[in-house]
Structure 1
Amino acid sequence: MAVNTTIFMPDLLKKFLYQYPHIKVHQTFATTLNIQHLLETEQVDFGISVTSIISSEYTNIQGIPIITAETFLALPPQHHLLKHKHISLYDVVNEPFVSMPVGYGLREMTDNFCNQAGFKPNIVIESN
């Protein structure tokens, strides 16, 4: 399988392997586009992605939501916005962002949220 998130994978794999102990799992970390390519070329049996993988060319790829999770904004301990009860994305327009590299689901999601709010995030650190 190919994944672009590891946040919930340990718990998911633990439950899966408990239910199916005879199955061996090989997991590889990949970008959303790479997961799509691996699925299209049948190099993996399935992919798990933060964002949807849509293939207009390969109709045998089917998306199934498996989890819904809240997304949070993480701030340093002394940040001035911590005193606010509610923070919108408009409040962080000029703030520096730490994010995943381009091509990963969480980065795609961050960029989409910021674009919907009308700005491009100021990514100062990219790390997977």
Structure 2
Amino acid sequence: MELRQLEYFVAVAEEAGFTRAAARLHVAQPGVSAQIRQLEREVGEELFDRSGRTVRLTAVGEAVLPYARAALAAVDGMRLVVDEFTGLLRGRVVMGGVSAPSVLDLPGMLSGFHERHPAVEISLVETDPETLVDGLQSGRLDFGLLGLGGALPPGVEVQVVVDQALVAAVHHDHELAAGRSITVAGLKGLPLISLPVGTGLRTVLEEVCAQAGFAPHVAFEASEPYVLGQLAGRGLGVAILPESAVAAAAAELHVLDITEPSMRGRMGVVWREGGPKSPAARAFIEHARRHLPSL
């Protein structure tokens, strides 16, 4: 019995078909069928029912599947332990997040890790905050970057890496362009331009407006902070955005401080409490936390 046979067996079971399993494994379909036949001869029983339109596990196949998965997991674990002892990291790290301000230098952080651990693959997944946190808790994601608003759920650790003032920005022809600041109460009834619901900036905006006794009137939403300024620069409303995002449309914008109270936008890197099991992911988190600021 070979590990390759077990790998093929698990793939066919999970994909419910030999063709899909072959595509997943990047091998020819006849090769998968041959290896499964060989495995069935060795165990003395058929593992799949091939009589229908889809391939299904037999009762014996159902009973064998957990042991096949456990054997493959054990081999992966053995390889990881050996890699740790030899100092060679392999594997894949999945980082979820949103667009990051230039002050964080994420490209520099990523390139520095790649230079030290070239055998580790890194996947960057752009997602919304709720999905990101869920991905951390379920293990689909190893690490994340998101705007901070309300409290994070238990089991998620955070390191604040950005803390900057939120400002209001309008076109130079806007009636507010004659002033230098605006109170939170002064935002009532104005068409605002903001990040979507659930983001850290939007949560802060909604909380301070609620404290002032009103709900903000958000006329336009955009998922990228710099786009908020561009929309305000076209005269579409009052953008609420981080100071660092003003530069993208600075020539078209008049910026006002927000007072009574002031608002701040924070971003943090987040990871599952206790860290991921993968040595590669643990090393990535340690590297990122050293490279990025701690505020």
TM range (shorter): 0.7 to 0.9
What RMSD in Å do the two structures reach over aligned CA positions? 2.2
Relative to 1, partners in 2 of residues 1:113 and 1:27: Cα closer, same or farther, differing over 3 Å? farther
Letter in 2 for 1:40: Q
Deviations 1:75-99 (A, max 9, x none): 1221112211221111121100122
Identity score, percent:
21
Relative to 1, partners in 2 of residues 1:68 and 1:98: Cα closer, same or farther, differing over 3 Å? same
Higher relative contact order (CA 8 A, sep 6+): 1
Match for residue 133 of structure 2 among 8, 25, 36? 36
Larger Rg: 2
| Farther-moved stretch of structure 1 (80-89 vs 24-33) | 24-33
Relative to 1, partners in 2 of residues 1:65 and 1:10: Cα closer, same or farther, differing over 3 Å? closer
Letter in 1 for 2:107: K
Which ranges of structure 2 fall in alignment gaps of 5 or more residues?
1-94, 224-295
Say whether 1:8 aligns with 2:101: yes
| Farther-moved stretch of structure 1 (46-55 vs 93-102) | 46-55
* Count of residue pairs brought into register by the alignment: 124
Relative to 1, partners in 2 of residues 1:29 and 1:118: Cα closer, same or farther, differing over 3 Å? farther
Whole-Å separation in 2 of the counterparts to 1:68 and 1:35: 20
Deviations 1:63-115 (A, max 9, x none): 11112122111212211122112211111211001222222222222222322
Whole-Å separation in 1 of the counterparts to 2:207 and 2:129: 14
Which ranges of structure 1 fall in alignment gaps of 5 or more residues?
none
- Show the counterpart of 1:85: 180
Q: Is the 8 A contact 1:31 1:105 kept in 2?
A: no
Q: Return the TM-score normalized by structure 1.
A: 0.81
Summarize the alignment of residues 39-78 of structure 1 with structure 2, pairs less than 5 Å apart.
39-51=136-148, 54-56=152-154, 59=155, 61-78=156-173
